[in-house]
Amino acid sequence: AQSVTQLDSQVPVFEEAPVELRCNYSSSVSVYLFWYVQYPNQGLQLLLKYLSGSTLVKGINGFEAEFNKSQTSFHLRKPSVHISDTAEYFCAVIIFNNAGNMLTFGGGTRLMVKP
């Protein structure tokens, strides 16, 4: 079985401060990992993904995430946030099996950037 846990439901942070949104997954086999972002009143869009190779993945808008296999984590970071980063962030994992691929999401983390 696989599951994705986002440890923080809300993260308030001041503008220009660094931020880390935490994500842990549980799976007995290799996984692919994603972060999606949902801006207010908009659909979900892909922020970044880890499929293989370098464990440090860079995405859009200055975000990056690091895959840590031993800790089964894929935390999202940004060194300096902007007001426009206020959104809901979803971590997701996909695992291949004989039936195809299955995308499972965490509960989401609401990032609230304050001036």
Kindly list the residues in this chain that would bind another protein in the complex (CB under 8 A). Answer: 6, 32, 34, 36, 42-46, 49, 51, 90, 92, 94, 96, 99-108
Nearer to another protein, 13 or 105 (CB): 105
Could you tell me the smallest distance in angstroms from the CB atom of residue 32 to another protein?
5
| Min separation Cβ 100 and another protein, Å | 4
The secondary structure of the chain, three-state, reads: CCEEECCCCEEEEECCCCEEECCEEECCCCCEEEEEEECCCCCEEEEEEECCCCCEEECHHHCEEEEECCCCEEEEEECCCCHHHCEEEEEEEEEEECCEEEEEECCCEEEEEEC
